[in-house]
Amino acid sequence: MTESDNIVAETAERIFTDLADAQTINNSKDASWKAPLWSALTEAGLPLSWVPEDCDGSGASIADGFSVLNSAGRFGIAVPLAETMLAGWLLAQAKIASPPDAMTVAPASPRDRITLNADDTLSGRARGVPFARDVKHIAVLATGAEGSSIALVDAAQCKIAAGLNLAGDASDTVNFDKVKPIAVKPAQKGFDQTSLMLMGGVARSLQIAGSLETMLDVSVRYSNERVAFEKKISKFQAVQHNLAKLAGEAAAALAAASSAADAVANSTAFDESIFLEAAAAKIRCAEAAEKGAAIAHQVHGAIGFTKEHILHRYTMRALAWREDFGNESHWAVELGKLVAARGADELWPLVASR
């Protein structure tokens, strides 16, 4: 890790520690905690980490941004930080300047398509768009007669149907009914919706990996405090076994997500090697989220399900993030198609090359 990575990660950690404490947020009766958190993040330039300076951003590296997202996952952040970072990154692919406000990105599912019409308006529907109702702008990847284009859209011009993910965060349906973008430009050659889904998938993988780290920490701490039958439950072999499994899932998720992040940070295109890394990471992290959340709640028992306990802030978000930018079933099918197309003799060289 470079000195720059350390500075960015440490800045994010300090802000999250000061303004995004899980128990403080749980005890809050409203969303007043969000404004100071977002203000501090903006002042530090973190939401526009992936936007070059000539597009009104911070000009940080891809690796810098990924370190922020992993930290955000460890704190179960419920503001559109990852979404604004992805939106800024998407706009930068077409050299469109990013606005200073919170943004999200559409589509957020590989099944949805937005069309760029001949008159440069947008049509289509995007489901499960994170925080769409809470942001001022949406970065859109659209498909037209000339290929892929990238657009900046005023969210107020779209019809947004409110929805919620498992964690209770906004996950909305956005309808583009002949919406006129603020700006629209062609995407770089070779950049398509799969590229966006892969980048979003790596971002969510890192967040899931971070949340699993906290699930493990919280579960180990609780097992050393909870007494049953006159001894700490951490002394029971069954609990020890489950915690070891949780540690294994957290380690596997972090390894897969970090490998994919490193591959993306050191590549100039979303080629087959990036596809393999990113798809495998999303599959493995999604599986780890399911298994890890179940173990963490089993260790905590009924108390972990209560609204007052912080555990659900991590388990529910990890499970919700599985669905964004393609779930594990989608990527497993796509990865299978890639392997089948290359042939059996190419499977081992493809895997071993990573």
In the structure encoding, which two tokens stand for residue 20, read together? Answer: 């995004």
Predicted confidence at residue 346, as pLDDT, reads 84
Is-above-0.85 flag for pTM? yes
**CATH number, domain with residue 275:** 1.20.140.10
Region 231-235: mean pLDDT is 90
| Nearest in space to 80 (alpha carbons), one of 55, 30, 46 | 46
For residue 151, what is the DSSP state? E
Q: What is the mean pLDDT of the chain?
A: 94
Could you tell me the pLDDT band of residue 349, with boundaries at 50, 70 and 90? confident
Residue 280 and residue 133 in one domain: no
Could you tell me the pLDDT band of residue 1, with boundaries at 50, 70 and 90? very low
Q: State in Å, rounded, how far the first CA of the chain is from the last one.
A: 20
Contact in structure between 64 and 8 (CB atoms under 8 Å): yes
Answer whether residue 337 shows pLDDT above 50: yes
Predicted confidence at residue 14, as pLDDT, reads 96
Residue 115: how many other CB atoms lie within 10 Å: 14
Residue 94 and residue 140 in one domain: yes
More confident residue, 132 or 58: 132
Residue 213 and residue 171 in one domain: no
Chain-centroid distance of CA 320 in Å reads 10
Residue 177 and residue 200 in one domain: no
Boundary (domain end) residue, out of 136, 156, 186? 186
Residue 199 and residue 134 in one domain: no
Residue 21 and residue 132 in one domain: yes
Predicted confidence at residue 202, as pLDDT, reads 98
Predicted confidence at residue 354, as pLDDT, reads 67
Boundary (domain end) residue, out of 171, 186, 201? 186
Answer whether residue 227 shows pLDDT above 90: no
Residue 162 and residue 263 in one domain: no
More confident residue, 242 or 343: 242
Region 264-283: mean pLDDT is 94
How far apart CA 50 and CA 43 sit, in angstroms, is 15
Residue 154 and residue 273 in one domain: no
Q: Are strands 137-144 and 103-106 parallel, antiparallel or unpaired?
A: parallel
| Nearest in space to 149 (alpha carbons), one of 175, 124, 174 | 124
**CATH number, domain with residue 140:** 2.40.110.10
Boundary (domain end) residue, out of 186, 216, 233? 186
Range of the domain at 238: 193-352
Predicted confidence at residue 288, as pLDDT, reads 98
Region 335-340: mean pLDDT is 92
- Note if the bond before 130 is cis, omega within 30 degrees: no
Could you tell me the pLDDT band of residue 3, with boundaries at 50, 70 and 90? very low
Residue 277 and residue 348 in one domain: yes
Residue 45 and residue 176 in one domain: yes
What region, left, alpha or beta, does residue 325 occupy, with left being phi > 0 and alpha being psi -120 to 50 degrees? left
Backbone angles phi, psi at 248, to 5 degrees: -65, -40
Tell me the CB-side half-sphere exposure of residue 167, using CA atoms within 13 A: 27
Residue 140 and residue 223 in one domain: no
Residue 203 and residue 94 in one domain: no
Tell me: the pLDDT tens digits for 80-90?
A: 999 999 999 99
Contact in structure between 167 and 78 (CB atoms under 8 Å): yes
Range with top average pLDDT, 4-13, 29-38, 240-249:
240-249
Domain count, the chain: 2
